[in-house]
Amino acid sequence: MMDNEFRTDIEAIETIAAIPTILNVVCRVTGMGFAAVARVTESRWVCVAVNDEINFGLKPGGELKVQTTICREVRQCGDPIVIDHVADDALYRDHPTPAMYGFQSYISMPIFLKDGGFYGTLCAIDPRPARLKNPGVMGMFRLFAQLIAFHLDAGRRVVTAEANLLDARTAAEVREQFIAVLGHDLRNPLASIQAGTELLQKKPLDAKARSILAMMDKSVARMAALIDDVMDFARGRLGAGLTLTRSTAPLEPVLKQIIAELQAAHPDRTIEADIHLPDPIVGDPARIGQLLSNLLGNALTHGAEDKPVRVKATTNGRFELVVANAGAPIPAAAMERLFQPFSRGQVRPNQQGLGLGLYIASEIARAHGGTIDVQFSDGQTRFTFSMPLDGGASRRH
């Protein structure tokens, strides 16, 4: 009867190609007829590998009562026990074990794993006496025991590494699912609030009520953008990265739509757009729209309120999108962390985001084989997104 613990031990030993050779060499060098690797615990003695030339009768998985073995004593003292000739050995002459198993020579070398734990023994017996108590045989047994321990440790490390890898994969999947569900569940009530404000806007309302609705709409839009950001961040950081759906669909309507949306959300600001895209562009229009939305949102938040924000999109061998705002330059300290996640500038109250906008914009740029640069000159902060016209498609693996 074997439980799983020992089955695993036997399988682990079976993967070590050197074991049969070790047991064979042990028998050749010592002249003994039976050699084995035994797993020895407090309560069990299980043979995990064997070279039996004397029909002792143990096979891998075979078990001896641990109380009847000398290996148990090896386990307790941690030192090898060696008997050249039982009949001449003062200590073991009257020991019950040799008589019980019918051997005259005996050697058992402890196998210690790297963590110091006792694994079992490399042992050998024979009905005839043998010359074992010499540095040659002892050294060989010690070396073989270390070799077996080394292989067992290496095997365990591989198994652990594989399990960790599996854990990491499962964890990533669970995280992805969590993010998807969370995103959906957060968006639902938000869609509800938005539907509510739309419904109310059709009713006759006084000026105060209209302005409250407009503020609610703004908050909903901000919340929706935050959820999008968090989901993108989580996917990019924890999951498979940003995925692009490349197409040659014209970018101009997408860019104009984003500008119109942000203009509607900031009616008191001026956004000047100059979009001229004569060459075809390959890219993910929704992602590039998101990139513009983040850059433009950033410019509206941080730029001077009384000056226009300018958007310029061109193709001249590359696709280039510039968003510029007037106002104070970005402080040097903030500059260093500008595209890092959760990097937030000093902004007006209630404008605070998660600091993910520029990080996500830079990830979108990177996915397209492009870059975002920042420059300050003539009182203008200028973010420039530049990418190849094929949207990095040629570098795709």
Partner 1 sequence: MTVILTVEDEPLVGEYLGDVLRDAGYEVIAASNSDEAIAVLESRDDIGIIITDVNMPGSMDGLKLAVAVKGRWPPIKIIIATGKAKPDERQMPPDSRFLPKPYAPERVLEAVRQFH
Residues that bind partner 1 (CB under 8 A): 180, 184, 187-189, 191-196, 198-199, 202
Q: Which is nearer to partner 1, 25 or 224 (CB)?
A: 224
Q: Which is nearer to partner 1, 262 or 311 (CB)?
A: 262
- Smallest distance from partner 1 to CB 325, Å: 30
**Cβ contact 56:90 at 8 Å:** no
At 86, the amino acid letter reads: V
**Segments in the chain forming alpha helices (H):** 4-14, 19-30, 71-77, 96-101, 135-201, 207-238, 252-265, 285-302, 332-336, 357-367
**Cβ contact 85:59 at 8 Å:** no
Q: Which is nearer to partner 1, 193 or 214 (CB)?
A: 193
- Smallest distance from partner 1 to CB 191, Å: 5
Place of tokens 């902004």: 347
Neighbours of 288 (CB within 10 A): 27
- Smallest distance from partner 1 to CB 397, Å: 24
**Could you give the CA distance from residue 119 to residue 136 in angstroms, rounded to a whole number?**
24
- Smallest distance from partner 1 to CB 235, Å: 14
Q: Which is nearer to partner 1, 2 or 234 (CB)?
A: 234
Q: Which is nearer to partner 1, 188 or 394 (CB)?
A: 188
- Smallest distance from partner 1 to CB 256, Å: 16
Identify the CA nearest to 363 among candidates 183, 235, 222.
235
Q: Which is nearer to partner 1, 201 or 248 (CB)?
A: 201
β-strand partners of 45: 40, 64
Sheet holding 318-326, edge to edge: 271-276, 309-315, 318-326, 380-388, 371-377
**Could you give the CA distance from residue 304 to residue 325 in angstroms, rounded to a whole number?**
7
- Smallest distance from partner 1 to CB 190, Å: 9
